[in-house]
Amino acid sequence: MIFKQTWKGKNCSEGIYFPASVPGNIQADYARAHGFADLQFADNYKQFLPLEDDHWEYETTLAFTKSEGERVFFVSHGIDYKYDILLDGALLYSYEGIYRPVELDLTDKLKSESLLSVHIYPHPKRAGAPVGTRDEADASCKPPVCYGWDWNPRLLISGMWQDAYIETRDDSYISVPKALATLNDEMTEGSVKFDFDCAKACEISLYDADGNCVSRTNGREMTVPSPNLWWCNGQGEAYLYRYEIKNAHFSREGHIGFKRLRFLRNEGETDPREFPKSRYTPAFTIELNGRKILGKGSNWVNPEVFWGEIDEARYNELLTLARDANMNILRLWGGASVCKDSFYDLCDKYGILVWQEFMLACNNYLGTPEYLATLESEASYIIKNLRSHPSLAFWCGGNELFNSWSGMDDQSLPLRLLNKLCYELDPTRPFIPTSPIMGVAHGCYLFYSHMQGGEVFAEFQNANNTAYTEFGVPSVASLESLKRIIPEDELFPIERTPAWVAHHAFDAWGAQNWLCLDVLRSYFGEPKSIEDIVENSSWLQSEGYKGAFEEMRRQWPHCSMMLNWCYNEPWITAANNSIIEYPAKPKKAYFAIKDAMRETIFSARIKKFSWREGEMLEAEIWLLNDRPEVVKGKVKISLCLGDSVTELLEWSAEAAANRNTAGPTVRFILPHADTDRLTLLLEADDGRSSSYCFHYRPAPAPIKKVKMLNM
Amino acid sequence: MIFKQTWKGKNCSEGIYFPASVPGNIQADYARAHGFADLQFADNYKQFLPLEDDHWEYETTLAFTKSEGERVFFVSHGIDYKYDILLDGALLYSYEGIYRPVELDLTDKLKSESLLSVHIYPHPKRAGAPVGTRDEADASCKPPVCYGWDWNPRLLISGMWQDAYIETRDDSYISVPKALATLNDEMTEGSVKFDFDCAKACEISLYDADGNCVSRTNGREMTVPSPNLWWCNGQGEAYLYRYEIKNAHFSREGHIGFKRLRFLRNEGETDPREFPKSRYTPAFTIELNGRKILGKGSNWVNPEVFWGEIDEARYNELLTLARDANMNILRLWGGASVCKDSFYDLCDKYGILVWQEFMLACNNYLGTPEYLATLESEASYIIKNLRSHPSLAFWCGGNELFNSWSGMDDQSLPLRLLNKLCYELDPTRPFIPTSPIMGVAHGCYLFYSHMQGGEVFAEFQNANNTAYTEFGVPSVASLESLKRIIPEDELFPIERTPAWVAHHAFDAWGAQNWLCLDVLRSYFGEPKSIEDIVENSSWLQSEGYKGAFEEMRRQWPHCSMMLNWCYNEPWITAANNSIIEYPAKPKKAYFAIKDAMRETIFSARIKKFSWREGEMLEAEIWLLNDRPEVVKGKVKISLCLGDSVTELLEWSAEAAANRNTAGPTVRFILPHADTDRLTLLLEADDGRSSSYCFHYRPAPAPIKKVKMLNM
């Protein structure tokens, strides 16, 4: 039996009690109780800054009449971050780390009425780190995003972020089971090992998706001949089997899936041709169930600032959008690290592969004995908890650790420890120490930047990486959202006010980002209204992302993965690379990417965004195919300039399973037209079209050079 | 008490006994007993081929009167490769792997006379691998070199290659101790943990190099304040402390040294400048006791074909030569892997750092459960056995595993296992999965090759790697050695006879190598005698190596290590990249390298080998300094052409500790002279000169192009 308790909380420096939500975050409870102004508005997040170094306490009163043979447990699925648990003031348990659950047998200590309390220590901050920076996060296993990121306000949260309850157990109790499903090399037989504790004998039954029992055992292992395989989105069904474990008085259920995933070397990658020779690039092409597949997806970040408040419904609205956008993989970026269990259940169901990172990002985690001990405890739990999910694709140490802004290395002990733990606990899954690894690339994050050699189109057309696992194009939020976060009188003209800065429009990554007014001005001149800015910014983002994703698809099978930075966001940003606004509102770019990710599309490779009358427009036409079967199709290519439509070409094409076909190049001298947009339209005979809407100027005058101020 | 036994051996398919040497190899015993012709001569090694799949047995008779309280052990320090140990026909022990020692308590099983036998199984060969190739080695942990390499004849050896004896022990017995010495981060305090077993209390004393006792304990740990540090050759004293462990009746001794070694990032290596950005190169600069040092050394291979016959004296003659050549590091290449213990003791003494590889080379070790189990057993022993040596610098998975000819990857389970074991058992030492890693390079191995863009000089002057951990220039053996291995009537002119092929002159690595007659012809025309070939080949090798080593020194501190392929050889080769002929005879190139490795030298950077009258000779002059102190000096540069000596320049220079100084460039139009050699002479005011002896032609006619046949 499970009993949900009512909890109250207090800030230990004040001693006033307030209602506490479990699961939740105590800072959110405190804010509600103290009438904090709307977090989303202006720079209200700063209300939370004075709370960073406070101690907190949760309390609940337990009043049970114990039954014979029953034991009473306090169970918590995780508490953030360093805490003690006390019963009637006596210390029961201390721990550091947010992921490992705790189960405490209270039976022999309970009085007729007992006080259970959880004491939360202040947030860990590395001594000597610059105050208020994310450097403070590098001596602990607290996910660093809440120390402030270029799209997450600094808001240090803690508390009972996962489910917690009192559970009474008798000898029929079955512990939460884990089922490890593996597939033999030939993929002709599945095996399942069940791991749970029960004092009584249990029967385990496995059911297929139609509800037929395919295996039953009184032991802990079973085999499944010729199992249906679990496929990722777009490659087949995400086939799941349901299992039930039961005895006379208790039962549990869960699901498994059978897949074989490994990395193969990227096509075209080999040793350097000449001596002296170094090594080849690491294998980074996903082979799923014997089939090489292109990884299409995005970088997932925490969907809430107060992640204790995330529930399955929040995950579900975001994950259905990912599935609908034809994504088959999400990278769970190390800054925010691991989600609640329901996230992985939904990924299992929707066929979304999970690239799971541990909680290291953009810092040099030095590997003191204390740090390593906490990391080992947290990571070994994470691995054991998640390895049973078919969606889990591979492990990664953390984000951008082998770059100058972090300073870690292959020898860093935290990464060697993680590799070791993954090898021991989950040896069939790949492990990479960080992203990017050799051959793989991150960036750039802008539509136009000197750092990327110009526009996003050229950037990726000139690149030749084995995967692009972060890249982005920012946009301003929708007008509706901007009105919610920016004081009305600051909406236009945009100035560097605290509200815009707090919401990452300025100074987030260089002075101009993520708003990028300089880029907008360079294409469109001085903006006339906030509506103008929103429209043009969304235009650049959607065409930029479309161009990047389709170019990376063209580079398949040399390029094996493409994940934009980033998918979602934890609060309303004024500007960001996200493609879904907080909480779950798709941007224009979302739909562009969804189109670019369709299993089969006709695509045009176009070199740049701005075109002038008299220039020759060139577009390479491709048939991109991610279907596991041969596709044939016909496309009609037209150019729309204002009201005038010119048919340029028709092409009949065929592409092999999971392969692309390069087609003809369209060349056309742009005529005069009184419009600022040109659209290249690719109409396929299956009724689905692709279109590329670019900037056009009738006057042949040279574009005015504007100095780019971004980094 | 230790009792050395007399052993006899037999080939199980014959049943005839012969005397067996322990330590040794049973194939060598068999050859002696059966009057095999000299292994070194012609293709006599082929006599051993029919023995490959035989079973062997060792036998010895034990006759002991047991004393009260004493136990009798059979101890072997290692048996090659898969074997059973039997007492009076009853199986006592079975094992696969050559490194892990065995200790068997025979006390309760011994009769008044007992027969101890060791049964050796045939050599492991991967089923399905091409017969007679080194591919046969990739399913076992047998060091693969004996399956045949381009400088090692195929000669599959096995047997009791390490010490074996009967040992009686009472309760005062102290097991072979290991002492793990560590240094705190500030290098102000050393700690030692002793690991041994003894039923009685023991006292441990630690003595400094002058014999003064610096610490004494009845426990197992001690600290040493302000310890003298262990330095590698050229950077300070290889300071060792001696320890003694004793009780009333038994004592052991050993040595330790205190050092702190880690990898720092190579200077000048950073993230790619532009987006999309990948990772930076792995740290590969040795920092020893807080000082960055240039790794200068070579690749060590097995010094004998029959490695059971290697003893300390063999190691010593080779290691004193390495020390005298100013080397501070040797790479123990994975094909031959681990040496006997005395090797590491000598390296501790001479200050030679050891890069230790596990027994994987140039194959794809697939990581079956059986393979991984053997690897874990062998590797965990190796780590525990060697980690106490101050000379041990870092671990490496094996040779060239991330190249197309091998096919392993970061995900390969054997390498993840090795990383894990090293992390667990020896976390303060770096681990690299293979050589070359990213940034580091292997090759080329020739004086001239299209694969390296021409001559060895240009090859490395145009390269920019973080380290060169294999590179070579071959030479023909000395005439004396050639006469020992090649039938007299085949010495000249050289034809592709079995003797020349057996000794790697042809078909070792491409058709022409290692003899490289094509290269010799291209510089010197048709050879007139074998003496002519020996002289010119040695000339190319010594100038090629000198040019390469000095160029790599110039690239310090970006380039952090330089190790030529290879140092020694296991038998007399007709031609090889080695700088020491079997058994321990330095080649002309050895002396050139010794000179190039001097702590401080004036060096000339010269672009090519062949010069003609009228050409402008250019030479950049450098002062190279590997001393840990500022050096000053003056150099006089002269050109010698026949008898004529022209003084070109004088330069006074200064170089910081462990840093180089680039100086002026000498330019000089070459006059006419009746000679085929020009020598650039750099005479330093410390009396030590460098000289570069290059090819000169008085006639200005173009050099005849000869097609290069090497790969």
Using an 8 Å CB-CB cutoff, list chain B residues near A271: 403-404
**B582: nearest Cα among B347, B326, B298, B305:** B305
- Shortest distance between the Cα of A462 and any Cα of chain B, in A, equals 10
Nearest Cα residue in chain B from A268: B404
Mean pLDDT across the stretch B138-164?
A: 97
B480 touches chain A (CB under 8 A): no
What is the structure's pLDDT at A451? 87
Instruction: pLDDT band for B705, please (50, 70, 90 cuts).
Output: low
**Residue A562 to residue A281: CA distance in whole angstroms:** 17
- Chain A interface, best mutation among B275, B438, B563, by max A CB count within 10 A: B275
Question: Can you say whether the dihedral through the CA atoms of A535, A536, A539, A544 is positive or negative?
Answer: negative
- Chain B interface, best mutation among A264, A278, A403, by max B CB count within 10 A: A278
With an 8 Å Cβ cutoff, are A271 and B404 in contact? yes
Question: Are the CB atoms for B581 and B614 separated by under 8 Å?
Answer: no
With an 8 Å Cβ cutoff, are B275 and A443 in contact? yes
**B655: nearest Cα among B626, B635, B688, B681:** B626
Choose among A263, A427, A436: nearest Cβ to B278.
A436
3-state SS class at A419: helix
Nearest Cα residue in chain A from B427: A413
CB atoms inside a 10 Å sphere around CB B212: 8
Instruction: pLDDT band for B711, please (50, 70, 90 cuts).
Output: very low
Lowest mean pLDDT segment, chosen from A252-261, A701-710, B229-238, B597-606: A701-710
Using an 8 Å CB-CB cutoff, list chain A residues near B403: 271, 277, 279-280
Q: Is the pLDDT of residue B500 over 90?
A: yes
Using an 8 Å CB-CB cutoff, list chain A residues near B376: none
**Residue A286 to residue B276: CA distance in whole angstroms:** 21
Structure confidence by residue, pLDDT tens digits, B439-456: 999 999 999 998 888 999
A432 touches chain B (CB under 8 A): yes
A471 touches chain B (CB under 8 A): yes
State the helix-helix crossing angle for B369-386 and B413-425, rounded to 10 degrees.
30
What is the structure's pLDDT at A705? 55
3-state SS class at B314: helix
With an 8 Å Cβ cutoff, are B460 and A282 in contact? no
A427 touches chain B (CB under 8 A): yes
Instruction: pLDDT band for B284, please (50, 70, 90 cuts).
Output: very high
Instruction: pLDDT band for B700, please (50, 70, 90 cuts).
Output: low
Using an 8 Å CB-CB cutoff, list chain A residues near B278: 436-442, 465
Using an 8 Å CB-CB cutoff, list chain B residues near A423: 413, 416-417, 419-420
How does strand A677-684 pair with strand A631-641?
A: antiparallel
Choose among B409, B410, B420: nearest Cβ to A424.
B420
B364 touches chain A (CB under 8 A): no
Question: Are the CB atoms for A465 and A549 separated by under 8 Å?
Answer: no
Q: Is the pLDDT of residue A342 over 90?
A: yes
Structure confidence by residue, pLDDT tens digits, A645-692: 999 999 999 999 999 999 999 999 999 999 999 999 999 999 889 999
A558 touches chain B (CB under 8 A): no
**What rounded mean pLDDT belongs to chain A?**
96
| Phi, psi torsion values for A568, nearest 5 degrees | -120, -170
**Residue B2 to residue A693: CA distance in whole angstroms:** 88
**B562: nearest Cα among B429, B632, B432, B468:** B468
**What rounded mean pLDDT belongs to chain B?**
96
3-state SS class at A482: helix
With an 8 Å Cβ cutoff, are B438 and A279 in contact? yes
Question: Are the CB atoms for A151 and A573 separated by under 8 Å?
Answer: yes
A440 touches chain B (CB under 8 A): yes
Structure confidence by residue, pLDDT tens digits, A603-642: 999 999 999 999 999 999 999 999 999 999 999 999 999 9
A463 touches chain B (CB under 8 A): yes
Question: Are the CB atoms for B267 and B327 separated by under 8 Å?
Answer: no
Q: Is the pLDDT of residue B203 over 90?
A: yes
A444 touches chain B (CB under 8 A): yes
What is the structure's pLDDT at A590? 98
DSSP code for A400:
S
Which A positions 275-314 lie with beta carbon below 8 A of chain B? 275-280, 282-283
With an 8 Å Cβ cutoff, are B423 and A431 in contact? no
B33 touches chain A (CB under 8 A): no
What is the structure's pLDDT at A539? 98
Higher pLDDT, A452 or A190: A190
A456 touches chain B (CB under 8 A): no
Mean pLDDT across the stretch A480-486?
A: 98
With an 8 Å Cβ cutoff, are A453 and B409 in contact? no
B265 touches chain A (CB under 8 A): yes
With an 8 Å Cβ cutoff, are A275 and B459 in contact? yes
- Chain A interface, best mutation among B284, B409, B447, by max A CB count within 10 A: B409
Question: Are the CB atoms for B477 and B466 separated by under 8 Å?
Answer: no
With an 8 Å Cβ cutoff, are B423 and A438 in contact? no
Nearest Cα residue in chain A from B426: A413
Residue whose structure tokens are 């050109």: B639
- Shortest distance between the Cα of B236 and any Cα of chain A, in A, equals 26
Instruction: pLDDT band for A711, please (50, 70, 90 cuts).
Output: very low
What is the structure's pLDDT at A710? 44
3-state SS class at A227: coil
**Residue B595 to residue B400: CA distance in whole angstroms:** 29
Using an 8 Å CB-CB cutoff, list chain A residues near B275: 441-445, 449, 451-452, 459
Question: Are the CB atoms for A278 and B439 separated by under 8 Å?
Answer: yes
Mean pLDDT across the stretch B257-266?
A: 98
> What is A267-280+306-323+461-597's CATH number?
3.20.20.80
User: Top-level CATH class of B178-259?
Assistant: mainly beta
Residue A274 token pair: 């000449």
**Residue B643 to residue B653: CA distance in whole angstroms:** 29
Using an 8 Å CB-CB cutoff, list chain A residues near B468: 276
Q: Residue B587 pairs with which residues in a beta bridge?
A: none
Q: Is the pLDDT of residue A704 over 90?
A: no
> What is A2-169's CATH number?
2.60.120.260
Nearest Cα residue in chain B from A269: B404
Instruction: pLDDT band for A39, please (50, 70, 90 cuts).
Output: very high
A424 touches chain B (CB under 8 A): yes
Count CA atoms closer than 13 A to B363's CA, side-chain side: 29
Are A178-259 and A600-697 equal in CATH topology?
yes
Return all residues near B142 (Cβ < 8 A) that are at least 6 apart.
B80, B81, B98, B123, B124, B359
**Residue A438 to residue A284: CA distance in whole angstroms:** 10
Higher pLDDT, B274 or B422: B422
Instruction: pLDDT band for A452, please (50, 70, 90 cuts).
Output: confident
Q: Is the pLDDT of residue A701 over 60?
A: no
**Residue B136 to residue A129: CA distance in whole angstroms:** 55
> What is B2-123+158-169's CATH number?
2.60.120.260
Structure confidence by residue, pLDDT tens digits, A557-596: 999 999 999 999 999 999 999 999 999 999 999 999 999 9
Q: Is the pLDDT of residue B660 over 70?
A: yes
CB crowding A472-484: b at 16 or more within 10 Å, else e: bbbbbbbeebbee
Using an 8 Å CB-CB cutoff, list chain B residues near A465: 276, 278
A402 touches chain B (CB under 8 A): yes
B455 touches chain A (CB under 8 A): no
**Residue B10 to residue B13: CA distance in whole angstroms:** 8
Q: Is the pLDDT of residue B495 over 50?
A: yes
A369 touches chain B (CB under 8 A): no
With an 8 Å Cβ cutoff, are A452 and B270 in contact? no
With an 8 Å Cβ cutoff, are B265 and A409 in contact? yes
Q: Is the pLDDT of residue A707 over 80?
A: no
Enter the ipTM.
Answer: 0.96
Cis ω on the peptide bond leading into residue B232 (within 30° of 0)? no
Instruction: pLDDT band for B66, please (50, 70, 90 cuts).
Output: confident
What is the structure's pLDDT at B707? 54
Mean pLDDT across the stretch B462-475?
A: 98
Q: Is the pLDDT of residue B56 over 80?
A: yes
What does the domain layout of chain B look like in residue ranges?
Answer: 2-123+158-169, 178-259, 600-697
Choose among B276, B279, B420: nearest Cβ to A420.
B420
Using an 8 Å CB-CB cutoff, list chain A residues near B440: 278-279
| Phi, psi torsion values for B484, nearest 5 degrees | -75, -30
With an 8 Å Cβ cutoff, are B277 and A452 in contact? no
User: Top-level CATH class of B600-697?
Assistant: mainly beta
Mean pLDDT across the stretch B605-611?
A: 97
Q: Is the pLDDT of residue A708 over 80?
A: no
**Residue A475 to residue A514: CA distance in whole angstroms:** 7
With an 8 Å Cβ cutoff, are A274 and B453 in contact? yes
B220 touches chain A (CB under 8 A): no
